[in-house]
Every structure is written in C-alpha cells, then in structure tokens.
A and B are shown apart, each in its own frame.
Chain A
Amino acid sequence: MANSQESGKRSLAIIGAAIGLAISILIIVYSYDYAISADPRIIGFWFYLTQKPYRLLQLSVSLFPIGIGYFVGKEHQEKKSLKIVAQENRLLYQQTLEKQEALDQLMHRISRAHEEERKRISRELHDGIAQNLSGIILDVGYLKAVIGEPEAQKHLQELTDLAKETVIDLRRILNDLRPVILDSQGLAPTLGQHVEKFGRETNIEIELKMDLAQRLPPGMEITIFRIVQEALNNVKKYAQAKAVTVAVGLDSDSVGVTIQDDGQGFDLVKGLQDHRGFGLVNMKDRAESIGGTIDVATQPGAGTTIKVTIPLASVGEFDG
C-alpha cells in the first residue's frame, strides 16, 4: 500500500514534468517561429534574449514550465495522497468505533451472562445439594433415634455436625452468589438487609432512601443491587467516611440510584488507571448493560457521589 503510493507520487510528478517539457518545447519552437514571422517590435525583446550571452537565460525561461509541471504534479499528487490518508483515517476511525461498540456489547453480554449463571448455580445448589444434605441429616437423625449403641451414637452425631456445617457454608455461598430474598421480596427489602449489615459491620452511618413503591424488572433489580454492593464495598475499603446515603428513586421514565459518601474522595483518573481494580469498571458495565449511564463525581477531600440512571424501558430480554 505505502509502496504503491510512493511510486504513485513520483509518477504524477513525472507526468507533470513531461507536460512541462512539452510546453517548453512549444515555447521554444513558437518563439523562434514568432521571431522569424511576427512584428519585430514585439519580438525584439525575445530576440534580444536569443543573443548569445542570454541563451542560457532564455533556455532556462523556456524550461521553466518543466519545473512548474513537476511541482504542480507533485503537489497534486501529495494532495491526492493526503486525501487518501484522510479517507483511510476516517475508515479506521469508523472501524475502531464499530470494534469498540462490539466490545461494549460483548462486555454487556458477559456481565448479563455472568449474572444469569450465578442465578442458575444458586438454584441448583439450593434445590439439589442443600435439599439432599438436609435429607441426609434427617436420615442420620432417624438412625440416631433407633440405634442405641453409644459408639454408633457418637459417630452419627459427628456425621450430623459435619453435614450441618456444610449446610451453613452452603448458605453463605448461596447468599454471596445472589441475595436470596431479591427474587421473592424485591429490591427494597434486599437493599434494606444489605444496608443494615453494612451498618453493623462498619462504623459508618448509613441511610437508605427508597422512593419506590413497585417492583422493577428482574434484570434491573439485580443490576442496581450489584452496583450499590460494589459502591458500598469501596466506601468500606477506601472512603474513611462518617456517613453514606443510598437513594433509589423513580422518575416518570427512569430509575435513579445514588450512593453518596462524605469520605476522602479520590482522583478518578488515577483511580481508574493505576489501580487494577474492577469495581468502577464493573459498575459502568453493569449500568450500560441495561441501557443506563453512570456518573462518578469525586475529588480528593470532597467525598464521592455515584449516580446511576437507568431508563425504565431498557432492560430488554435480560431477566437477571
């Protein structure tokens, strides 16, 4: 590509020079012709120039079109190749935009698939494994009741304890995977539970303002929950805040979620760049994956406010 352009550049210049040469020849031929046939007063000057000492000058004037031809050709070629470069740049830019868009779409699909996968795993753990473990505990309980032998009793009790511990571990995993009450009870009680736990585990005063009478589409509920969870995680880890407010409110056509802390804030650009964390990026992906936007307002010393806006009509096929 670059090579053909280079040789193309030279070829136009050479064509220009060739045209110039032709013009030069015409000038020389005609000037002599003219000198012989035309009005001596007009051609006097030219004739004067054809005298020996000025031959060189005359020749160079005659050859001048060659130079002009060459440069005009070159200039033209350069303009043309600049145009090509601009065109290519435009194309590349377009392609980059398209790639970026495809990448964004992919990220959104991944973030939704991730959530759907969690839901599926949690259902299987609950319906299958937790249920079976409970059955085992019941059967061991029955055996304990009907077998009198002390040695057997002891082992059966150990078995029961182990199975119980496993159920409790499983319950913790289930809740980490997905808050159990989200689907049945909705966003408000789930956030209430989360906020209450946050208040218990930290020394930060937390307030939840839910201005939301209705249930939201499932994909929206889990997305909002995850964003709040992620934001509060950061508040706990970095903000050194005294107080944080979580607000969820409904407009005519969108849901607004705000998480505001009065902590030390941070340099947003640096926070995104030199820390290899996924929290902020994830929040953005999640918000965008259901057509929403996120705005992070913060600076060192001035607290942090994260505001997410999600159009009500945007969740599509994602059922969280």
Chain B
Amino acid sequence: MSKRILLVDNSKQFRANLKRFLRIDPDLEVIAEAQGGEEACALADEHKPDLVLMDLKMGAMDGIEATRRIKNANPQTQIIVLTVYDEDLYRSDAAAAGAADYILKEEIPDNLLRSIKSILSIKD
C-alpha cells in the first residue's frame, strides 16, 4: 500500500522539485501540499498522512512549532524536517518536537528515500 505524504514548504518551486523527485519511489504518493505551518496543521488533521516533509522556514508559524502541533494531534503521523539550516540547535529542537529525522536539502537525493523507508517500515 502506498504511503501518503504531505509536503510543507513555502516555495512552490521547491515543492514541485520535491514532488518530481519522490516519483522515483512508486510507493510514495503526495496527497497534499501546504505553504506554511497553519495550513500544514489543518491539512494534517484533514488527511492524516503517513508522513509530513516539513520545511523549517521561519515564518508566522515555523516548522518546529508545526511539527509539535501535528505530532500532538496525530501521533501516528511521521515527520521529517527538510531544511537548508545546518544548525545543531534546530536539530535538537526538531527532535524534541517529535520529528523523526532532520535532513539538509542538498542531502535529499542521498538520504531521503532511505530515511523514509526506515521510518515508515519501523511503523509497519
């Protein structure tokens, strides 16, 4: 059964790139996209995705806060943070908020698919 994914990133361009990349694994299906934290929480409540790919963009509501809220409302949903920020502090904050992994955007081709598999199959 394919895994249902919610993409959260303020850049439409990046979401398109990511979506295309995820086509490599036919088991993955992007079911919704959000531009920011608020929208992500609402869509997560609505769709109950298996996985959220979360940007850390520091906006009105940042990715860490959105991660915390989604995990609180939907504990079964897994969250992976994708970000340009290589900061230990963000890593630990993301982990504390309930994110299962923290991947730098330039490392996505090397690490994301493997990470998704291990995180979601642990759940299975």
Contact = CB atoms under 8 A, between A and B. Distances in A.
Most buried by B among A134, A136, A180, A185: A134
Interface residues of A, number: 31
B21 A134 contact: no
Interface of B: 11, 13-14, 16-18, 20-21, 23-24, 58, 62, 84-90, 105-106, 108-109
B58 A138 contact: no
Contacts of A185: 89
Contacts of A183: 58
Contact of A164 (B21, B89, B106): B106
A284 interface: no
Chief secondary structure at chain A's binding surface: helix
B13 A131 contact: yes
A137 B13 contact: no
Interface of A: 126-127, 130-142, 144-146, 160, 163-164, 167-168, 171, 180-181, 183-185, 189, 193
B8 to A, nearest CB: 14
A180 B87 contact: yes
B90 A181 contact: yes
Contact of B106 (A144, A168, A184, A193): A168
Nearest to B64: A184
29 contacts: A130-B105, A131-B11, A131-B13, A131-B84, A133-B106, A134-B17, A134-B105, A135-B13, A135-B17, A136-B17, A137-B105, A137-B106, A138-B14, A138-B18, A138-B21, A139-B20, A141-B21, A142-B20, A142-B24, A145-B24, A164-B106, A168-B106, A171-B84, A180-B85, A181-B90, A183-B58, A184-B62, A193-B88, A193-B89
Chief secondary structure at chain B's binding surface: helix
A126 B59 CA distance: 13
B15 to A, nearest CB: 9
Given A141-B109, A184-B62, 8 more contacts: A130-B84, A137-B105, A137-B108, A138-B109, A139-B20, A141-B21, A142-B21, A180-B87
- Pairs of residues from A and B, 7 with the lowest C-beta to C-beta distance, nearest first: A141-B109, A134-B105, A135-B17, A138-B17, A167-B106, A145-B24, A138-B21
Given A126-B84, A139-B17, A142-B20, A134 B108 contact: yes
Contacts of A189: 89
A90 to B, nearest CB: 54
A163 B109 CA distance: 12
Contacts of A141: 21, 24, 108-109
A5 B88 CA distance: 75
A139 B21 contact: yes
A229 B115 CA distance: 38
B109 A167 contact: no
A216 B17 CA distance: 39
A132 B14 CA distance: 7
A138 B20 contact: yes
A160 B62 contact: no
Contacts of A139: 17, 20-21
